[in-house]
Amino acid sequence: MLAFLRGNPKFLRFWMATWCSEFGDWIRNMTLMYMVMDISNNSAVAVSINQFFEFAPIFFLGFFVGVLADRWNRKRTLVGSIGFRAVVMVLLMVAAYQESMILVYAVAALSAIGTVFFRAPQSAFMMQFVPLDDRRQAANLRQMSTSWMFVIGPSLGTFLYFELGSVNALILTCALFVLAAILLGTIASQEEEQKNQAPGGFKGVMQDMGAGFRYSWTNKIVRPILFTNVFLGLGTGIINVLSIFIITDFLGMDKSSFSILVTVQGVSMVVCSLLVAKSKMPTERMLPFGMLIMGVGMAMTVVYESFYVTGVGVALTSLGNVMFNIGMATLLQTKVDYQFQGRLNTTVMSIHNGFMMLSMLAAGWLYETFTIVPVVLGGGSSMILAGILSLIMYAKAVDPQKENSVGL
């Protein structure tokens, strides 16, 4: 790992930029969650609505953003989008002063727009300076940074909100986003401009979008990912909204203890990242087994009123999540042509977030209509179903390991 980082300084700077971006995201996420709960007097419906506005733009704009990400200069798109996210944090400061839920929802939507433009070109941009044989190692390192942010992000985000206040926490978020933009700006890009090669106007965008859909459907590796992300999104949406209520209502603990549970998740993800990185399991098997493990872990979080049992469920969920993320990232970067990276990544992202958005919108009302146990168990069941479905689809694929790998 260290030899790879020393030998690829461009990836090292890219990796450092993602650390800054993800740390800023965690501070914003925790600040936004506590703001919503404080302003709305702990309303589950308000949390659900806020989650909807955070993910709705990803679903509605993701397909178009993918086309633009494949057309535009990836480096400039990354730097511009993270700069936009920094500006949006200033609007969130205004919302904190005014205690306006409407403005909070609007800022959540704008932040999501910046996020989808930031995520769409990342994979293709990284492929410019990471050789094909090193992309699984790169995916492991990206997962490791995400895992460590699960460890330090929630606790530090909670500390900054309660000790420094929402405005000071958001100022730090802006600073981290700016630092990430500076790091990305120092990476020399060898990208060829393709503006003159692509048909212009709305018709051209739709043609490129259609080409991306056809490529997704005919690729034997990508098609199972699209199907299973439907069910994975349903389960993820439920746990995103109700995880804090597992702490406050199911376990009867204070809401500030939520950061402890998320830290448990982060520690588990760090350990699992190191274990999975050494695994010789075929990449296409990581997805179905990862989803099966996630489903079982999610169900365990509400089977018994004990923080320790819930913690074991979170640890299992973390293991499955790591396997799924590393498997999917590696497959998309090795089995998908470079010119389709933006469209394929946003297609997967949009399908996942679209169904996650629907379940998040319903989760608050389901929770207030039923108890938390059947709702969370239903989410876990959808993940198990996703794992079974992907196992069947990959078993029917023609020798997935011999699918042609692709580079730039």
Task: State mean pLDDT over 219-232.
Answer: 84
User: How many C-beta neighbours within 10 Å does residue 402 have?
Assistant: 7
Mean pLDDT, to the nearest integer, of 128-141?
A: 84
- What is the number of alpha carbons within 13 Å of residue 261 lying toward its C-beta? 26
Out of 115-119, 154-158, 168-172, pick the least confident.
Answer: 154-158
Evaluate whether residue 305 is within a structural domain.
Answer: yes
Helices (H), 120-200: 122-127, 135-159, 166-185
Overall average pLDDT of the 245-264 stretch: 83
Instruction: State how many domains the chain has.
Output: 1
At residue 204, the pLDDT reads: 74
- Most confident residue range from 59-63, 162-166, 204-208, 395-399: 162-166
- pLDDT of 7 higher than 70: yes
The Cα–Cα gap between 53 and 36 comes to: 12
Domain assignment of residue 402, yes or no: no
DSSP 220: T
| CA 66 to centroid of chain Cα atoms | 16
| pLDDT the model gives residue 404 | 47
CA distance linking residue 161 with residue 34, whole number of Å: 8
| pLDDT value of residue 293 | 95
* Residue 194 scores a pLDDT above 60: no
Query: Is residue 391 over pLDDT 50?
Result: yes
The answer on pLDDT for 173 being more than 90 is yes
Question: Helix or strand or coil: residue 189?
Answer: coil
Q: Please provide the average confidence, as pLDDT, over all residues in the chain.
A: 84
Q: What is the pTM of this model?
A: 0.74
Q: What is the dihedral of CA 298, 303, 304, 308, to 10 degrees?
A: -20
Q: What is the pLDDT of residue 141?
A: 86
Does residue 403 lie within any of the structural domains? Answer: no
- Beta carbons of 273 and 144 less than 8 angstroms apart: yes
Burial of 388 (0-12, 13-18, 19+ CB in 10 A): middle
How distant, in Å, are the alpha carbons of 285, 387, 402 from that of 393? 11, 10, 16
User: Considering only CA atoms, which of 84, 83, 85, 106 is closest in space to residue 94?
Assistant: 106
Mean pLDDT of 132-158: 80
Q: Reply yes or no on whether the pLDDT at 60 is more than 50.
A: yes
Q: Which pLDDT score, from 0 to 100, does residue 313 have?
A: 94
Q: Give yes or no for a contact between 140 and 281, defined as CB atoms under 8 angstroms apart.
A: no
pLDDT value, residue 400: 42
Angle at alpha carbon of residue 59, lines to 15 and 259, rounded to 5°: 55
pLDDT category, 15, cuts 50, 70, 90?
very high
The pLDDT value given to residue 396: 74
How many Cα neighbours within 13 Å face the side chain of 30?
32
**Neighbouring residues of 45: CB distance < 8 A, sequence distance ≥ 6:** 364, 365, 368
The verdict on residue 74 lying in a domain is yes
3-state secondary structure of 99: coil
For CA atoms 258, 260, 262, 264, the dihedral sign is negative
pLDDT digits (tens, 9 = 90+) for 36-47: 888 888 787 888
Give the residue carrying structure tokens 């469920």.
313
Does residue 204 sit within a domain?
no
Task: Indicate if the pLDDT at residue 138 is higher than 90.
Answer: no
How is residue 351 written in tokens? 């399908």
Q: What is the pLDDT of residue 48?
A: 75
DSSP state of 303: S
Q: How far apart are CA 297 and CA 316, in angstroms?
A: 5
- Does 183 reside within a domain? yes
The alpha carbon of 369 is separated from its chain's Cα centroid by a whole number of angstroms, namely 29
pLDDT at residue 61, as a whole number? 80
Q: What does the block give as tokens for 265?
A: 């998740």
Domain CATH number, residue 317: 1.20.1250.20
Classify residue 197: in a domain, yes or no: no
Question: Is residue 407 domain-resident?
Answer: no
pLDDT band at 397 (very low <50, low <70, confident <90, very high): low
Segments forming the whole domain that contains residue 318: 8-189+211-397
